[in-house]
Amino acid sequence: MANRNFPQWLEQLQSQALVKVERQLVLLVGDVCWVKALLQINSQTQTTDDLLVFSHHPDLASTIDTKHFSQQLGSENNKILFSCVENSMAETLSLDAFAALSGTLVAGGIMFLWLEQPLEHAIEQTNMLSLKYFYQQLLNNKNLAIVQQNSDQSFGQILPVLDCGLTINWSLKVEFLYQTKTKEQQTAVEKVINVSKGHRNRPLVLTADRGRGKSSALAIACVQLLDNNNKQGNERLNIVITAPHVRSLSVFYQQLARSFSENGTDFSYVNSSKTSIIHSFGSITFIAIDQLIHISGSLDVSLLLVDEAASIPVHLLTELAVRYSRIVFSSTVHGYEGAGRGFTLKFQQKLKQLMPQWRSFHMHEPIRWRTDDPLETFVFDSCLLNAKLVELPPLGESSAMINTRASLSFSQLTSKELVEDTRLLEQVFSVLVTAHYQTSPNDISLILDNHAAHVFIAKFEGNIVGVALLLEEGCSKSADIQAVASNQRRLKNQFIPQSLLTHCGFTESFNYQYLRILRIAIHPQYHGCGFGSRFLNSLQIYAKKQQVDFIGASFGANAQLLKFWQNEGYQVARIGFTKDKASGEHSALVLCAVSDKGQFFERKIINEFYGSFDYLLTDEYKSLAAPLVWQILHHCPDKSLPKLSSHQLSSVADFINKKRQFSHCVRALHYWCLLHCKETYHPKVLLLIERILQKKSVENVCLNHLLTGKKMLNEALIQYISHHQSK
């Protein structure tokens, strides 16, 4: 039998791992029948009671939905079987799934990886560079235990047995306050409580590697605050929690229920989704980020918790910090949830400017396993989750002087170069994760395996200071294009032409070739030095040499970011109608034509966009931030702008002279405002954009601009238009 001695060996291995409070990685090398027999997987049901299986192999069924593996976060497993067999994968190895599922293993747990051939053979035979990279990482792992099928189907290898003198001393277990698992988690709970009870405008930034219990710490702190808010005269505590997605708060809500139960506290759910909780002395409610910003003036929030803050754009986090006086920003700083380095570097710089008395706390100690756990170390190394950003020498010159120097060079890296030089791959990854992108382990596959992907680096004095990832798009098969046009399918690596066809109605969009900038990042030490601008310019030169028609990008739009792209010659081709759930922003598609053929099509795209933008400001674009509206209109082609007739000029004059009411002159004011947005920016123009162009209610505009009512609003409009009309 294939498993003749395996159960005894596995029991010893798990006991040894439990004693050391760690998890082990085991590679199984053999055919599918041998693996199923070894792990006692039922041949008929394809399942086993205590084994989670992640597989695309036709003869080895997965026990979970492979597309929604993240739903396992917060659960606990003792054994996982993860298939690495190349021909069993939908495309390539899901490093996201591997990293995420590894986090569900508890101490004493085993992560089984399965291959049908030895690592050396697998490395030689695979054509997928991401697999070659991952297999090489396994081969270099000194802690890897390999169990290989023999030709006679017998068990082939046994690790050293557990030292008989090594026993678990449960008497050493330390008890911490609030049923926390570590001293750091207890400290985190106390720091969250202090935000609620201490001085206002001293936000806490709580960061942690994955598996440290930060989300549980938030929940435990909430329970402690509510249960101890029973003194007479205390106001009810209204705790609000937000995150990019409510489903990412499953651990938080599970811990809430567990802690309330342990304390013997009564509570009830307000809604069917169980995201709002009522307690005798307060409440806990989930509110989406965009709602929190939109209705901040009418909310009574005792404490705001922002979980997975690294997945939220910095400018939205800044708005929350300004609007709410007691707030905790919590996030994983690297791991499968998102690298979070941009959050660490950029947002904390903002906090230093806005609220110099902000506090931070980082949780290092794992809860489910020991520090330097062998499995976690391998996951972090192989998935580049610990790619260190190189500390660069400070720039001793002004930005203007640096910008004129010739020492900034640009080059393209091949996948072969990256897979053969893992240090170079780590450097590239470390810069990418500083940008506000959801960089994940699967991006390794994107960089190494996707033939349409191109990696570029910018170097300054020999150091990598910028990284860009581009994708080739356009010119697909006619059958595929027809399927897209009829809304029957969506094509991979065809975002720009697909959007131009399905959203904008340009049937000729696939007749052009595009380079889409999927990622671009500059080393944070060198922000503001003009490197980003020069990098984009070099990419445009490359695009011209490749004889493509357009270079473009898509991103969550805000005024500052869009201004950067427009200053580099990019035109807005589309603004999404709905806000992205993760960013709370409308997406922007920007294009820059680099061929004569492309320039003609670009003019057509831009004219169509601006031709409808004005009309949509009172409908789909009514929620666009006024600074973003101004930024878009500021670059409106003159041909798309209206012309004020003599009668309309008289109407504007009548309004500012109080001869006619606002509503009687609103069309003329509308045209005047569109034309005025082409002039130099003035902060008070936002008032006009909201009231005249977006037709927001008097109440809403007054609330946004601290005006007492309609009369004061009209006076502000008259004063502004009168001042600028006279110029």
Q: What pLDDT, on the 0 to 100 scale, is given for residue 43?
A: 62
Element (H, E) at 138: helix 129-139
**What gap in Å lies between CA 304 and CA 448, rounded to an integer?**
41
Q: What pLDDT, on the 0 to 100 scale, is given for residue 403?
A: 54
Q: Which residue has the higher pLDDT, 406 or 94?
A: 94
| Coil vs helix vs strand at 362 | strand
**What gap in Å lies between CA 695 and CA 689, rounded to an integer?**
8
- Span 600-648, pLDDT tens digits: 999 999 999 999 999 999 999 998 999 999 999 999 999 999 999 999 9
- Span 27-85, pLDDT tens digits: 999 999 899 989 988 765 555 568 999 998 989 999 999 988 877 766 789 999 999 98
pLDDT tier at 312, thresholds 50, 70, 90: confident
Q: What pLDDT, on the 0 to 100 scale, is given for residue 337?
A: 44
Which DSSP state fits 358? -
The letter for the amino acid at 78 is: N
User: In 3D, which of 243, 363, 361 has the Cα closest to residue 308?
Assistant: 243
Phi and psi torsions of 94, nearest 5°: -85, 95
Phi and psi torsions of 127, nearest 5°: -100, -5
- pLDDT score of 338 more than 50: no
- pLDDT score of 225 more than 70: yes
Residue 138 vs residues 193, 221, 375, 648, 726: alpha-carbon distances, Å: 43, 40, 11, 74, 73
All CATH 3.40.630.30 domain ranges of the chain, comma separated, are 402-632
Asked whether the whole model's pTM tops 0.85, one would answer no
- Of 3.40.30.10, 2.70.98.40, 3.40.630.30, 3.30.420.40, the CATH number of 402-632 is 3.40.630.30
List the end-to-end C-alpha distance of the chain, in Å, as a whole number.
93
* Choice among 39-43, 320-324, 544-548, 573-577 with the minimum mean pLDDT: 39-43
Tokens of 225: 């605050």
> Could you tell me if 318 and 254 are in contact, meaning their C-beta atoms sit under 8 angstroms apart?
no
Phi and psi torsions of 55, nearest 5°: -155, 145
Q: What pLDDT, on the 0 to 100 scale, is given for residue 577?
A: 93
- pLDDT score of 536 more than 50: yes
Q: What pLDDT, on the 0 to 100 scale, is given for residue 527?
A: 87
- pLDDT score of 243 more than 60: yes
Q: In what order do the strands lie in the sheet with 105-115?
A: 51-54, 77-83, 105-115, 24-29, 145-148
> Could you tell me if 132 and 420 are in contact, meaning their C-beta atoms sit under 8 angstroms apart?
no
All CATH 3.40.50.300 domain ranges of the chain, comma separated, are 182-363
Q: What pLDDT, on the 0 to 100 scale, is given for residue 627?
A: 97
Q: What pLDDT, on the 0 to 100 scale, is given for residue 29?
A: 92
> Could you tell me if 137 and 448 are in contact, meaning their C-beta atoms sit under 8 angstroms apart?
no
Q: In what order do the strands lie in the sheet with 327-332?
A: 267-269, 276-279, 282-286, 237-242, 303-306, 327-332, 204-208, 359-363
Kindly report the CATH class assigned to 182-363: alpha beta
Element (H, E) at 112: strand 105-115
Q: Which residue has the higher pLDDT, 38 or 400?
A: 38
Half-sphere exposure of 566 (CA within 13 A, CB side): 20
Pairing outcome for strands 463-473 and 453-460: antiparallel
**What gap in Å lies between CA 468 and CA 439, rounded to an integer?**
13
Cβ neighbours for 616, distance < 8 A, ≥ 6 positions apart: 577
Average pLDDT, rounded, for the chain: 88
Residue 345 vs residues 342, 349, 359, 523: alpha-carbon distances, Å: 5, 6, 15, 10
Measured on CA atoms in the order 6, 9, 11, 17, is the torsion positive or negative?
A: negative
- pLDDT score of 592 more than 50: yes
Residue 565 vs residues 48, 253, 340: alpha-carbon distances, Å: 54, 41, 23
List the Cα angle 410/476/566 in 5-degree steps: 45
User: In 3D, which of 218, 228, 231 has the Cα closest to residue 304?
Assistant: 218
State the average pLDDT over residues 665-670: 97
State the average pLDDT over residues 471-496: 88
- pLDDT score of 164 more than 80: no
**What gap in Å lies between CA 217 and CA 196, rounded to an integer?**
14
**What gap in Å lies between CA 621 and CA 617, rounded to an integer?**
5
- pLDDT score of 90 more than 80: no
**What gap in Å lies between CA 282 and CA 261, rounded to an integer?**
17
Which DSSP state fits 74? T
Q: Looking at the DSSP assignment, which residues form a beta bridge with residue 158?
A: none
- pLDDT score of 488 more than 60: yes
Q: Domain 6-163: give its CATH code.
A: 3.40.50
| DSSP conformation letters of 545-585 | HTT-SEEEEEEE--HHHHHHHHHTT-EEEEEEEEE-TTTSS
- pLDDT score of 161 more than 60: no
